[in-house]
Amino acid sequence: MPRSRPLLAGLFDYAGLFPPASLTLGETLTRYACHRASHDEWMLGRLVVPAADLDAVGTLSAQHLPTGNGAPPWRVSVLSADTGADVSRVDAFNQRHADPAHGAAVVDAIETRVSSADDIRALRAWATRGFDVYCEVPLGSELDPVLDAVAQAGLHAKLRTGGATPASTPGCDDVAAFLCGCVARGVVAKATAGLHHAVTGQHPAGPAPDAAHTTMLGYLNLVLAAGIAEGAGRSAVQSAEVSATVARLLSVTNIPSWIGHAQVDWRGPHGPIIEGPLEQFAVSGRALIRSIGTCSFEEPVEDARRIGLIA
């Protein structure tokens, strides 16, 4: 069994409100509380909710939130669509829940979609107040100028890796360009959607029995590919060789081999891609990919067990 804590600790931000789970807010909060109380809680990250739901989060989570001096707060990431209105919502929530008598919780991250440098400049108000700000960026030809603006503003990037249709999953070359582009600019990132499985493969695009199967990226592929990009360094990461290696690892569908507690050996159709200490690749990968948003916590954890990452 490999030492997987550096890879998986706090990796999975819980977004049960969103498809395909589409839980109610009450169900989402109850499940998040249960996950925090479980044996697997060390893999759980932030709770993800829309800013417009913050008042209801405070009310519906009252029975679940930790209380008492020194209680570890729930960490919350907010999806913001209107910076002006959402600042006041976040401030009110944080002020109320700074008092542990009301249940300890704190919004410390903001996520929003951007398409231009103007969108990004408007978000600097969040960053100057100490929030982690994740900007969901477009892939393809629009990626570089938007990543430039994210870096110049001192913000973080967000990668969408799936959706409701097979066409929603980006190609491995596009994901590799995102990872390498982030490293080249010193930008950290998170990813979201379609990452319920550890290893890239064919899976149903939704919960319906007749849902089309599509290739979905594996979160293990993503984090260790990020480790390759991060390990290459800012000066070399956008070379054709590094980008090709990152894309190859993203596309591999076979389960890696674990050698003892420390080594990983992951091979593609044409030979080895990574060989060596898992912790080395994991630490580098998590330096880039800080978390993964998922509407299910159980599925990625169960898949980690299936492939021997955890007991």
> What pLDDT, on the 0 to 100 scale, is given for residue 1?
59
Rounded-to-integer distance, Cα 165 and Cα 215, Å:
11
Q: How far apart are CA 76 and CA 108, in angstroms?
A: 6
Residue 207, pLDDT above cutoff 80: no
Q: Residue 240 domain-assigned?
A: no
Assess if residue 224 is contained within a domain.
no
pLDDT, residue 310, reads 94
Read off the amino acid at residue 212.
A
For the whole model, what pTM was predicted? Answer: 0.96
Asked if the bond preceding 100 is cis, omega within 30° of 0, the reply is no
pLDDT tens-digit series, residues 119-163: 898 898 899 999 999 999 999 999 999 999 999 999 999 999 998
pLDDT digits (tens, 9 = 90+) for 150-201: 999 999 999 999 987 778 899 999 999 999 999 999 999 999 999 999 999 9
43 domain-assigned: yes
Strand order in the sheet with 263-268: 257-259, 263-268, 271-277
Q: 140 lies in a domain?
A: yes
CA-nearest of 136, 147, 92, 141 to 110 is: 136
Q: What is the pLDDT of residue 125?
A: 85
- pLDDT band of 233, cuts 50, 70, 90: very high
Distance CA 13, CA 249 (A): 23
Does the residue 101 lie in any domain?
Answer: yes
Q: Flag whether 261 is in a domain.
A: no
On the question of pLDDT at 206 being above 80, the answer is no
Residues 75-118: tens digit of each pLDDT? 999 999 988 889 999 999 999 999 989 999 999 999 999 988 88
Residue 269 has a pLDDT of 85
Q: Is residue 165 part of a domain?
A: yes
Say what the pLDDT of residue 95 is: 97
Structure tokens at 125: 């108000």
d(CA 234, CA 184): 4
Residue by residue, DSSP assigns 38-83 as STTGGGEEEEEEEGGGHHHHHHHTTTTS--STTPPPEEEEEE-S-H
- How far apart are alpha carbons 168 and 28 in whole angstroms? 24
Burial-class residue 285 by CB neighbours within 10 Å (0-12, 13-18, 19+): buried
- Domain of 69, in residue numbers: 11-218+294-306
Question: How many domains does the chain divide into?
Answer: 1
CATH code of 189's domain: 3.20.20
| pLDDT, tens digit (0-9, with 9 covering 90-100), for 12-55 | 999 999 999 999 999 999 999 999 999 999 999 999 999 999 99
Q: Could you tell me the CA-to-CA distances from 250 to 53, 218, 244, 271 in Å, in that order?
A: 35, 8, 10, 15
- Residue 119 makes CB contacts below 8 A (sequence gap 6+) with 112, 135
Is there a contact between 128 and 162 (Cβ–Cβ < 8 Å)? no
271-277/263-268 β-pairing:
antiparallel
Burial category of 266 from C-beta neighbours within 10 Å (exposed 0-12, middle 13-18, buried 19 and up): buried
- 235 domain-assigned: no
Phi, psi (degrees; rounded to nearest 5) at 116 = -150, 165
Mean pLDDT confidence for 253-265: 91
Lowest-confidence pick of 5-9, 216-220, 246-250, 255-259: 255-259
**Listed residue (158, 156, 166, 147) closest to 192, CA to CA:** 158
The interaxial angle of helices 219-232 and 172-185, nearest 10 deg, is: 40
Pairing of strands 201-204, 213-216: antiparallel
Say whether pLDDT at 297 is over 70: yes
Strands (E), the chain: 12-14, 44-50, 74-79, 105-113, 132-136, 156-160, 189-192, 201-204, 213-216, 257-259, 263-268, 271-277, 289-294
Output the CA torsion sign for 255, 259, 265, 269: negative
